[in-house]
Structure formats: structure tokens, C-alpha cells
């Protein structure tokens, strides 16, 4: 029985017909020499540019891509990948199980929309994946007469312009967004309107420095890891800063003074914390303490209201922003760690003085405060495309948000082979010490049985703590976190070998394809250990999805403790203390408390959803006002 017969609902008859049409062409295309295949593709391109509807060309286009992939990279699209490609072509968010070949699936709609000569983009979560996918899939497009390029962080404008000029362009959402903003700023300096520029063809007049915009008009985009980019990162707008005057001595001194005093302030006595908004507010006693503390001479011109705000900010970063979880200190600078990908976010800074407060907390130089020269939200960036599609392993739970904001329905694509991934019983412990000891014991037993183990942690600190415990137990292992990014490809390539143990942050949760070594499948496949719950269940699913790929066997287990961060994040510090107290006195199995963790996770997910909805509302209102005033909504109004 085929995957289509097993999983595709009856209502998907048109997709069955598409698969049949592509299969009927296969024998004919297989007989063509490479040059004839290329000519056939260029003929299809001529028809598309002549105005023939792309939808009519889909069966032949998909057939050409499937045959080129078979010849050039040794992979042939499964029927379920053709269905995924059709869903993307229609502008849907395709939920495809991990290991089902999303990268290969994306080549189908990318090729189809590139035929019109307006460019197709694939946006992914980091440079590593963008470059890898471009290199691996590039030969397919080149065999069909199309050009392909990639935009990377280190690329200069000429390289970026060449990449955007290609038929198909790979890159990160961050780079696509910043290039859009930089082009917008350049065009303002040139006195040109963006829309006029995009419609002017090749007769552009550049500014006196010879600078040129790098992008073309946004046409079609496939967003890889769509839930991460379109939902998780939607709360963080992309901002190009306008550097202001040098920081005043009293402002730098205020940040440093507040950071030094923050440990003296006690919750409920000196300040209150709102668990919903994450806001810190000084009480009357807290304000009195601010007034009574000794103030250095550099603060003599700083008003009391401002000092209250500096202290509230310092308390917030001391509580909510943790070293080697939310950020690292590298070369005297604070570098943000993306919570959802585990990777360093070069060039990003927190707003509203948070970044400066963290710099003061860590004792590094407080940076120059900046204003905004240009900004765009992730929603705005991708809604500018004429056609938007996305793919991820975890989308159905966010289907309502995808449809409401991006007008994109979510479709679950069947797997090519039945899933053999098995969830093992969740284990709950009174405290972290007991949890870590149990994890080490399970790793040791599985390693001895010849199975590879992947262990996911929420932070760099915890990955290093577990590494220390494994070393003490004599268990050889590899660590993959933001500090080891240079070794990522090597570590991932070996993670499926017999007896291999890999400790990783969320870097291993997305885009990594762990292939099983010889004999591993017979031993039970890869085992994934989740060391605690993340703020979104989708992230946990991404991690467990590293095992049991393409019909391989695999297992996963969740380990929890009553002092895990998710309980404090979800229920607040007071309730979290009660859970910790219970953990110290509890005996025996605590699995009946799993529902509490799940409830805390759902509360955090709802809070983040409200944050995204509020951001979207305010951004729309801001843009509406600026447009009514005749201003560019993406640029600062200052000339």
C-alpha cells in the first residue's frame, strides 16, 4: 500500500491526479539527454514568460525537477514530496514530519515561480542552512537552465546584488529584511520612491557614491522552519540603528550604579513582578531604598524618576536575562543567543535600555544608545511578497495564527513511510540533581547497547553542566552549542553512529539530519532525551523529531524536575517556590504532576501569542498614521 493510499484524504484527489500526471511524464523525460532536458525547461520558461498560467505548467515543471534531481544529486522526489510541493505552490504552510525531505520538496515551487523571471526566495533560520541548501540543491536548477545564489551575513553589496539577481536565492529572513531596509534608506538618500524604483527597469540613476540597491521586487518566498521565523521571531522587529551622540557620563554611570545595587532589592518588599507582562515595578519601600542608597557624583544630574527606571531595568535583567542562556559575553560584547534556534544572533540588540543594562550587569563597556533609522517586522517583511508559502515539522498547532496573519492555510503532508518513533514514559523528579543523575544513567545504558543518544538542553550553561557530569561518569560525548558552531557539521554527521552521545542546545532541533550508522537501526535507532520543557511545545517536538526519520526506528523521553524554569515562567516565582519545596520532600514517582508542566507551557504559549498580536496591532496603527502623514512607514521621520 502506498503512502498516498494510507494517508491522503479523499478530498485530495487533485493531488493524486498531479502525481499520476508527473509519473506519466517520467519515462519520456528519463529518455532525454541532459541538453534536451535543459531545452525542455527553457521552453517551459518561455511559455511562463509569455503569460501562460503557471498552474497549467505544474505537472511538466515538477516532472523536470524530479528528473534533474535524480540525475544531478541522486535523489528522486517521492509522491508525498510532490504533494508538499503542490501545497507550497498554492501558498500553504506545509507541515512535513522531520526527515521527510523539506529541502528537496522546496525545489518544486521555487523552480515554478522562477520560470516567470521574477525570482524565487527561500528564507531559512541561519547562514549554515542557507549555504548548505543552496550548494546541495543548486545542481538541480542549473541543470534546468536557471541560476541560483545565496545571501550570507559576510557578503558585500555586490555579492548580495548578484545573488538577488539569480532566478532562485537562498538566505536568512534576517538578511532579506536588513537588505530591504538598507535599500530603503539608500533610495531616500537618492530621493527616490521604492515603488517607482522597482518599476523603473534598468534605467536607474545611482547616488554619487555609486551605491545601488541590491534587491528586486519581492515575488515568491518559501519560508523554511515557518513556525520559528513567522511566529517565534515575529516578536523581534528588524531594526537598523541610527547612532546618536556619545553616551553621556551620567547615563553610563546610572546603568552601572543600578546594576551594582539590584541584588539588594527583594521581591514583594522592594518591587513587584507582573508575571503576565514581565514588568518590574518598585514599591514605596523600593523607591525609598533608591533614595537612601549612596549616589556617586556622576548621578547628581539624574532625576529620581529616571533612577527608579534604571533600577527596575537592572532588577529585570538580573532576574530574566541569564548568561549563556539568553546571551553570551564574547570579546567584551554582549551577543544574544536565540532561544528558539540556540544560535548566536550577531548584530542584534535588545531595545528600551535592556541591552545596556545587561552590559552594566556583566561589567563590559556600556554601548552608545541608538535610535532607529529603519525598522520592519517579520510579518511586514513576508507579507510584502506576492506569494508566501512555508514548511515546517510543527505547524498545525499554530494553524489559526498562520491563517489569520499570513492568510496561509496549514496542510499536513503524509509521510513516505510509517512513523516508527516511540515516546517513552515521562519521568518527573523532585529536583535537578536527581534528574541529571537519571539522565546520565540512561545515557550510559543506551550507549552500552550500541545506540546513539542526542540530549537536548535549553541553554549553553546546562549543556556544559551535563557535559561535566558525563565526563565524571566516564562517558565520551560531543557538545554542540553556540560556542561550537564551527564544528556543527562534523558533530551532526557523527551523531547517529553506534554508541555516540551528543549534548546539544536547540541548534540540533531544526534543520539537522542525523543519519543512522551501521547496525544502529537493529539496536533501536537514535534515542532523544529532552532535559526540560521549552516555552513552546513545538520546540520540544522539533527536538524529538530528530529520531525516527524516514521510517527509521527511534525513541524519545522527557525528563522534568520540580525546579525547572518552565514552572516559574508559567506560574510565577511564588508558585515556583512551592513546587521546589514539594520537590525537596517528595518521594517516589511524580508522573502525576506532568499535567502541571503542560499547563505552565500552555500559559507561556498564550502569553507569547498575545505579545505577537499586540505587536502586530501597534505596527499596523503606526504604519497607518505615518502613511496618512505622507511618511515612509519603514523609515525614521528624521531627515
pLDDT score, position 208: 47
* Average pLDDT of span 166-194: 87
Say if residue 136 is exposed, middle or buried (CB neighbours under 10 Å; 0-12, 13-18, 19+). middle
For every residue of 295-355, DSSP letters joined together read --GGGTTS-HHHHHHHHHHHHHHHHH--BTTTEEEETTEEEEEPTTT--EETT---TTTHH
State yes or no: pLDDT of 245 exceeds 50: no
* Average pLDDT of span 29-33: 96
What cell was used for 462? 546546562
**SS3 annotation, 486-503:** HHHHHHHHHCCCCCCEEE
Q: How many CA atoms lie within 13 A of 127 on its CB side?
A: 12
State yes or no: pLDDT of 338 exceeds 90: no
**Which residue shows C-alpha cell 539624574?**
302
* Equal fold, 3-237+378-412 vs 420-595: yes
Residue with the bigger pLDDT between 399 and 348: it is 399
Residues 577-631: pLDDT tens digits? 888 888 787 776 788 899 999 999 999 988 888 888 887 788 788 888 888 888 8
* Average pLDDT of span 22-33: 94
State yes or no: pLDDT of 246 exceeds 70: no
DSSP letter assigned to residue 248: P
What cell was used for 337? 543567543
* CB of 484 closer than 8 Å to CB of 507: no
> Which homologous superfamily is 245-368 in?
SecA, preprotein cross-linking domain (3.90.1440.10)
Q: How confident is the model at residue 203 (pLDDT cuts 50, 70, 90)?
A: very low
Tell me the percentage of the chain whose pLDDT exceeds 70: 88
pLDDT score, position 613: 81
**62-66, 126-130, 487-491: least confident range:** 487-491
Which residues, in sequence order, are bridge partners of residue 273?
280
State yes or no: pLDDT of 382 exceeds 90: yes
pLDDT score, position 206: 45
Which of 204-213, 508-517, 626-635 reaches the highest mean pLDDT?
626-635
Which of 160-174, 284-298, 507-521, 563-577 reaches the highest mean pLDDT?
160-174
Average pLDDT along the chain: 86
Q: How confident is the model at residue 485 (pLDDT cuts 50, 70, 90)?
A: low
Say if residue 394 is exposed, middle or buried (CB neighbours under 10 Å; 0-12, 13-18, 19+). buried
* CB of 318 closer than 8 Å to CB of 358: no
* Average pLDDT of span 322-329: 85
Q: How confident is the model at residue 480 (pLDDT cuts 50, 70, 90)?
A: confident
pLDDT score, position 420: 87
Q: How confident is the model at residue 511 (pLDDT cuts 50, 70, 90)?
A: low
Inter-CA distances, 355 with 233, 278, 343, 408, Å: 18, 16, 18, 35
For the chain, the distance separating the N- and C-terminal CA atoms, rounded to the nearest angstrom, is: 66
State yes or no: pLDDT of 22 exceeds 70: yes
510 vs 487: CA distance, rounded Å: 16
pLDDT score, position 248: 59
Q: How confident is the model at residue 210 (pLDDT cuts 50, 70, 90)?
A: low
* CB of 565 closer than 8 Å to CB of 532: yes
3-237+378-412 topology per CATH: Rossmann fold (3.40.50)
State yes or no: pLDDT of 509 exceeds 80: no
List the one residue out of 278, 338, 381, 319 whose CA is nearest residue 539: 338
**148-162, 219-233, 295-309, 460-474: least confident range:** 295-309
Q: CA geometry: angle at 463 spanning 461 and 467, to 5°?
A: 115
Residues 64-109: pLDDT tens digits? 999 999 999 999 999 999 999 999 999 999 999 877 889 999 999 9
**444-453, 563-572, 630-639: least confident range:** 630-639
* Average pLDDT of span 420-434: 92
Structure-derived torsion over alpha carbons of residues 39, 45, 47, 48, reported in degrees to the nearest 10: 170
420-595 topology per CATH: Rossmann fold (3.40.50)
Residue with the bigger pLDDT between 41 and 379: it is 41
Tell me the percentage of the chain whose pLDDT exceeds 90: 50
pLDDT score, position 103: 94
Domain boundaries of the chain, sorted by first residue: 3-237+378-412, 245-368, 420-595
State yes or no: pLDDT of 49 exceeds 70: yes
State yes or no: pLDDT of 458 exceeds 70: yes
pLDDT score, position 265: 94
**91-105, 290-304, 549-563: least confident range:** 290-304
* CB of 345 closer than 8 Å to CB of 335: yes
Q: How confident is the model at residue 253 (pLDDT cuts 50, 70, 90)?
A: confident
* Average pLDDT of span 363-368: 82
* Average pLDDT of span 504-518: 74
529 vs 453: CA distance, rounded Å: 7
List the one residue out of 75, 82, 64 whose CA is nearest residue 20: 82
Amino acid at each position: 500500500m502506498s503512502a498516498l493510499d494510507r494517508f491522503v484524504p479523499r478530498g485530495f484527489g487533485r493531488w493524486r491526479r498531479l502525481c499520476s500526471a508527473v509519473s506519466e511524464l517520467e519515462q519520456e523525460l528519463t529518455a532525454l539527454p541532459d541538453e534536451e532536458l535543459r531545452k525542455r525547461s527553457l521552453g517551459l520558461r518561455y511559455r511562463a514568460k509569455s503569460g501562460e498560467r503557471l498552474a497549467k505548467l505544474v505537472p511538466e515543471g515538477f516532472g523536470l525537477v524530479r528528473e534533474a534531481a535524480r540525475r544531478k544529486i541522486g535523489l528522486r522526489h517521492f509522491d508525498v514530496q510532490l504533494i508538499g510541493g503542490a501545497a507550497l505552490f498554492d501558498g500553504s504552510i506545509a507541515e512535513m514530519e522531520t526527515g521527510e525531505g523539506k529541502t528537496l520538496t522546496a525545489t518544486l515551487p521555487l523552480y515554478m515561480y522562477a520560470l516567470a523571471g521574477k525570482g524565487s526566495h527561500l528564507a531559512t533560520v541561519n547562514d549554515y542552512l542557507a549555504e548548505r541548501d543552496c550548494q546541495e540543491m543548486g545542481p538541480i536548477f542549473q541543470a534546468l537552465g536557471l541560476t541560483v545564489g545565496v545571501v550570507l551575513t559576510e557578503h558585500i553589496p555586490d555579492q548580495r546584488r548578484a545573488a538577488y539577481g539569480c532566478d532562485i536565492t537562498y538566505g536568512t529572513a534576517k538578511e532579506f529584511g536588513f537588505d530591504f531596509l538598507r535599500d530603503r534608506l539608500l533610495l531616500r538618500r537618492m530621493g527616490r520612491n521604492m515603488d517607482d524604483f522597482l518599476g523603473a527597469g534598468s534605467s536607474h540613476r545611482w547616488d554619487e557614491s555609486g551605491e545601488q540597491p541590491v534587491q528586486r521586487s519581492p515575488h515568491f518566498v518559501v519560508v523554511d522552519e515557518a513556525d520559528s521565523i513567522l511566529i517565534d521571531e515575529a516578536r523581534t522587529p528588524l531594526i537598523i540603528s541610527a547612532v546618536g551622540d556619545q553616551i553621556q557620563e551620567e547615563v553610563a554611570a546610572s546603568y552601572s550604579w543600578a546594576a551594582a545595587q539590584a541584588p539588594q532589592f527583594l521581591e514583594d518588599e522592594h518591587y513587584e513582578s507582573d508575571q503576565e507582562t514581565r514588568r518590574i515595578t518598585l514599591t514605596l519601600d523600593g523607591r525609598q531604598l533608591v533614595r537612601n542608597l549612596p549616589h556617586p557624583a556622576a548621578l547628581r544630574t539624574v532625576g529620581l524618576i529616571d533612577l527608579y527606571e534604571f533600577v527596575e531595568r537592572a532588577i529585570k535583567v538580573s532576574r530574566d536575562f541569564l548568561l549563556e542562556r539568553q546571551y553570551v559575553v564574547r570579546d567584551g560584547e554582549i551577543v544574544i543567543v536565540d532561544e528558539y534556534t540556540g544560535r548566536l544572533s550577531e548584530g542584534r540588540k535588545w531595545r528600551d535600555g535592556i541591552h545596556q543594562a545587561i552590559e552594566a550587569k556583566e561589567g563590559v563597556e556600556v554601548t552608545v544608545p541608538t535610535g532607529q533609522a529603519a525598522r520592519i517586522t517579520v510579518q511586514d517583511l513576508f507579507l510584502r511578497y506576492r506569494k508566501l508559502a512555508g514548511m515546517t515539522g510543527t505547524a498545525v498547532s499554530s494553524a489559526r495564527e498562520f491563517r489569520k496573519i499570513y492568510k496561509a492555510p496549514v496542510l499536513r503532508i503524509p509521510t513516505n513511510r510509517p512513523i516508527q518513533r516511540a515516546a517513552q514514559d515521562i519521568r518527573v523528579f523532585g529536583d535537578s540533581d536527581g534528574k541529571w543523575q537519571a539522565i546520565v544513567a540512561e545515557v550510559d545504558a543506551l550507549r552500552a547497547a550500541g545506540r546513539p543518544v542526542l540530549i537536548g538542553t535549553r541553554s549553553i550553561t546546562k549543556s556544559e553542566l551535563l557535559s561535566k557530569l558525563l565526563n565524571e561518569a566516564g562517558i565520551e560525548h560531543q557538545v554542540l552549542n553556540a560556542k561550537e558552531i564551527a564544528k556543527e557539521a562534523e558533530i551532526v554527521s557523527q551523531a547517529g553512529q553506534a554508541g555516540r552521545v551528543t549534548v546539544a542546545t536547540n541548534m540540533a532541533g531544526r534543520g539537522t539530519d542525523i543519519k543512522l550508522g551501521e547496525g544502529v537501526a537493529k539496536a533501536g535507532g537514535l534515542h532523544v532525551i529532552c532535559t526540560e520543557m521549552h516555552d513552546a511545545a513545538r520546540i520540544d517536538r522539533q527536538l524529538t523529531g530528530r529520531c525516527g526519520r524516514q521510517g527509521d526506528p527511534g525513541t524519545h523521553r522527557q525528563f522534568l524536575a520540580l525546579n525547572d524554569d518552565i514552572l516559574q515562567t508559567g506560574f510565577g516565582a511564588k508558585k515556583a517556590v512551592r513546587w521546589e519545596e514539594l520537590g525537596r520532600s517528595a518521594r517516589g514517582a511524580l508522573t502525576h504532576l506532568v499535567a502541571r508542566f503542560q499547563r505552565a507551557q500552555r500559559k507561556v504559549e498564550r502569553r507569547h501569542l498575545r505579545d505577537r498580536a499586540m505587536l502586530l496591532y501597534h505596527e499596523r496603527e503606526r504604519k497607518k498614521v505615518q502613511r496618512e502623514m505622507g511618511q515612509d512607514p519603514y523609515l525614521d521621520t528624521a531627515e
